[in-house]
Amino acid sequence: MPGFEIFGEEEKKEILEVLDTGVLFRYEFPEQRKGIYKVKQFEENFASYCGTSHAQAVTSGSTALKVALTALGVGPGDEVITQGFTFVATWEAIFEVGAVPVFTEVDETMNMDPEDLKNKITDKTACIIPVHMLGAQANVEEIVKIAAEHNIPVLEDTAQATGGHIGGKYLGTFGSCGTFSFDSVKTMTTGEGGMIITGDEELWRTMSEYHDHGHDHIPNPGARGGEGRRFIGFNYRMMEIQGAIGIAQLAKLPYMIEAQKKTKSRLLETIAEIPGSGVRKLMDPEGDTATFCCFTLQDREQCSRVNEVLRAEGFGAINFAENTWHFYPAWEHILAGSTPIKSGWPFAEPGGKRRVVYDPTALPKSAELIGRTLVYPVPVKMPEDRLDAMCNALRKAKNA
């Protein structure tokens, strides 16, 4: 990661075709664009790649979550269960639709713990969002099974695991829908941008209309201004240049994943030499995207000692217990209920009554696991001399 490492002539070709038309908007202008609809083509290619029928491109992975939640009918009065180890966008989107996030522990997959999920379901639970964090699969089959017993839809947050699968079935296709991110540091990137996939045509139609101010996109004599609207919406449209880049990047995705797998394999071989080290549980090693290399140590103390050696060698790893963007106890703004809105929304109702208060110690199992886990992002292009130096640094940490 990320895909910009291999930007080349393919992306340039697709972008120039857009610029030659002069049309950056994904809709309308049929005479001027001469049949070139890059976002539509990207959606069709992406749905086909994932083995599903419908895809809806949007402005980001964050808005993908909001559009999907809205299409699923989630709103005020609802609870949405997700995991306490995820990027903040997952729970921000839940607040954005007026619902309340509820957090589960993570298990050895570094993703949602199905057993804790069972403890968090209530009669207010309107959706469950497992996150395929750090490029690898959640135990999504078990999660979907639990959700089905309660008739609750599952929305897969696949922002960090595009191209991952379990038994050949692609992530994002197990639940009602799946969301993806193509931001600047993702394995395949369009700079910004996101996608939602689903096999449900009506759900897709609602997303399609909502993301474009409610336009129903049915051809009519009045063109765009004459379309009907079933409900209100907002603007989350992807533009044609992003779609063009996405077409080229998607074609390169299998190569990118394979390159990452080779580098990750070499790293894991070396990491195995560290006494007490382990690796995260993978639901299907073949379906791992290898976007990140995660390894565990016996306890926080050993983890800290190992990382001190790695930092001294110029190869310090990420410890997400120290990261303020991805792990529940470090989200000071959600714990404090911080908001620019005068009423205190979304943490408080108008009038000041608190809707929700979060306890920083609420996920002890996750805190223990993440506190002794180190993570390396895996580049698409890793020079052999740098990989050698990285492995040498890991060997120096053996006796830490």
* 201-216 pLDDT per residue, tens: 999 999 999 999 999 9
Q: Are residues 222 and 341 in the same domain?
A: no
Q: Are residues 146 and 48 in the same domain?
A: yes
* pLDDT (0 to 100) of residue 399: 87
**Structural domain span for residue 383:** 253-396
Q: Are residues 207 and 272 in the same domain?
A: no
Q: Are residues 234 and 279 in the same domain?
A: no
- Domain end point (choices 252, 271, 295): 252
Return the CATH number at 61. 3.40.640.10
pLDDT in tens, 79-88: 999 999 999 9
Q: Are residues 268 and 226 in the same domain?
A: no
Look over the chain and give the mean of its residue pLDDT values, rounded to a whole number.
96
* pLDDT (0 to 100) of residue 226: 74
Token pair in block for residue 386: 């740098």
Identify residue 90 by its one-letter amino acid code. T
Say if pTM beats, i.e. exceeds, 0.85: yes
Q: Are residues 235 and 310 in the same domain?
A: no
Q: Are residues 22 and 102 in the same domain?
A: yes
- Residue 3 confidence class, pLDDT cut points 50, 70, 90: confident
- Mean pLDDT of the region 141-152: 98
Asked whether residue 222 carries a pLDDT value surpassing 90, the answer given is no
Q: Are residues 159 and 12 in the same domain?
A: yes
- Domain end point (choices 205, 227, 252): 252
- Mean pLDDT of the region 238-251: 98
**Burial letters for 350-364: b for 16+ Cβ neighbours within 10 Å, e otherwise?**
eeeeeeeebeeeebe
pLDDT in tens, 277-322: 999 999 999 999 999 999 999 999 999 999 999 999 999 999 999 9
- Domain end point (choices 190, 217, 252): 252
Q: Are residues 195 and 48 in the same domain?
A: yes
Identify residue 117 by its one-letter amino acid code. L
Q: How far apart are CA 279 and CA 277, in angstroms?
A: 7
Asked whether residue 225 carries a pLDDT value surpassing 80, the answer given is no
Residue 228 buriedness (CB in 10 A; 0-12 / 13-18 / 19+): exposed
Return the CATH number at 319. 3.90.1150.10
Q: Are residues 136 and 218 in the same domain?
A: yes
* pLDDT (0 to 100) of residue 221: 67
Q: How many domains are there within the chain?
A: 2
pLDDT in tens, 37-81: 999 999 999 999 999 999 999 999 999 999 999 999 999 999 999
Those residues whose C-beta lies under 8 Å from the C-beta of residue 130, and which sit 6 or more positions away, are: 82, 83, 111, 112, 138, 139, 140, 143, 154, 156, 157, 175
Three-state SS sequence of the chain:
CCHHHHCCHHHHHHHHHHHHHCCCCCCCCHHHHCCCCHHHHHHHHHHHHHCCCEEEEECCHHHHHHHHHHHCCCCCCCEEEEECECCCHHHHHHHHCCCEEEEECECCCCCECHHHHHHHCCCCEEEEECECHHHCCCCHHHHHHHHHHCCCCEEEECCCCCCCEECCEECCCCCCEEEEECECCCCCCCECCEEEEECCHHHHHHHHHHCECCECCCCCCCHHHHCCECCCCCECCCCHHHHHHHHHHHHHHHHHHHHHHHHHHHHHHHHCCCCCCEECCCCCHHHCCCCEEEEECCCHHHHHHHHHHHHHCCCCCECHHHCCCCEHHHCHHHHHCCCCCCCCCCCECCCCCECCCCCCCCCHHHHHHHHCEEEEECCCCCCHHHHHHHHHHHHHCCCC
Q: Are residues 192 and 151 in the same domain?
A: yes
Q: Are residues 292 and 345 in the same domain?
A: yes
